[in-house]
Structure 1
Amino acid sequence: DDKRPALVTTTLFDRVQVCEDDLGTGATQVTDAIPTTWYVRVMFDELLDPNIEELVEILDPDTGLGTDQFTGTIAGTNPVSLMCNGVAVAYDGYYSPSGNSITWPLGPSLVIQPSDTSAVATGAECTLTLKPEVIVDKDGVAITSGDTGPYTFKIAPLVLESTDPAPPEDPADPDVVDPAAPVVLTFNATIDPASLAASEILLEQVTACDAAAGIERIPAITQDLTEGGPQTLFISDSAAGADLAFVPETTYRLTFTDTNEVADLAGGTGAIPGAADLTICFTTDVAQ
């Protein structure tokens, strides 16, 4: 399709290769849509009937009065079918009449936003199908049947993004941390705190990070939506004492079994790297 976007300038110094320069080449399927922020933008080569969108006035949160500012919604017209792993996904979005094939964002376009990204599993296979009875141009002409899709994409798999503290660069010189602060595991999706079992964690008090063995401790696994958010898990020593995550002035080593499994709230599964790839070691400071 020679009307598809190719290399598009997004800012003064940045460009995005949306499609191949040879516009006759088939598009590459997206397989790594960000689990917490994904959306779909459907670009058209002409303006749509604006009635595909309803404009709703934004009310002042304090007075409840109108602000003369409006936001768009397509919840009432429902112009596409969005499915992930064979299940319909609730969505809203808006119509953007601006733009073309060389602008950023592209346009004119429909922006489809899932109502709750946590309801879609990581690794899910998704399809979007346009509804020709709803999507028409300003003259009332519907999109052709060959353009309705389904268009397929995948949500990225569940992975551990970071740990705090991070693994020490030098095992002989581990970070000194506040004993009241738990180890924070951050994932790329909303995580189910019940999916990681204590039996999949090895928490040890050690004399040194490279010690052959240590004294095993029973880990506590929690989630604090206020302090860490839904993408995090907290790990601490269950016997550390009141208001403490770990025993003060102690070196800890934390690893995970090779068979561990974690899951997001929608049931998508992944794993934390095992001991060969991830060893967190740190020394706790004196109690404050």
Structure 2
Amino acid sequence: MRELINVFNYIEILGIIGGFVAFIRKIAPVSNLTADIVEVKLFSKEKRLLVTVVKYLFNTFIATAFMFIFVEFAINRLESIPLLLVSLLMIVNLILFYILLIASTFNSFRYSQIKRLIKDLKVRWIVKWVYSLQKQILLKKLLILFFYILQTYISISSCLSYIIFKSGIYLGVRNGSLDDFIAVIIFTFLFSLLIPVLFKPGLSLVNWDNGKQIAYIKDEKDNKKWFILQPAQKNYVLLGNEKEESICTQKKLVQKEDLINKIIYLE
């Protein structure tokens, strides 16, 4: 009977491994994650969502590794973390986040209403300050980004460490409890899910992740730009007269085959 159970366990393990391999082959992580902007624009909505999720999880795992260093240091070297310190760090981090968010998106269409509101309220110094921050040399922007990244890791990890100290899990980790150690890793991963979102304004400020994100073709008759928005059904692609689908006033469907001999421009 025990041998039969062992056989079933072996088959179950093989099934899990086989399913994982099939999943990896289906998503083709190397091909999809390294695809250029034209390929991504022609991905289905489901595939684009999958690629986005995989990239986000990959960045989260990297953030988890770095944050765990901070948390492990706090657990093994400190006895507690004051709530006042955690609160101050989080407040500073939120202020920096919104400053970088405004500075990195101030000129975009989505935030034009905010800019108009600022001007209407006669606080033009905010506009001047944002423009001055945008015009800083790259080295200064990188220094600001480095400080913001470091401060974000410290604030989030200090908040997590405070929770670990209050819950008493740190005692189990110090005593070598595997369950408590796994719990710390899980909590670190959950908190790290915030990191890619918090980093985005800072990375946008230095154009770290802005690359070539727009693909379009030109009409042969009037040289009008038609931006590639997304696939529609299986054999069609949706084009629009604006970069963002939400603000397009004209759209049209073309077959994918019609794009084969077209010159695709990037910006």
TM-score higher than 0.5: no
Q: Whose helix proportion is higher, 1 or 2?
A: 2
* TM-score normalised by length of structure 2: 0.27
* TM-score normalised by length of structure 1: 0.26
Q: Whose strand proportion is higher, 1 or 2?
A: 1
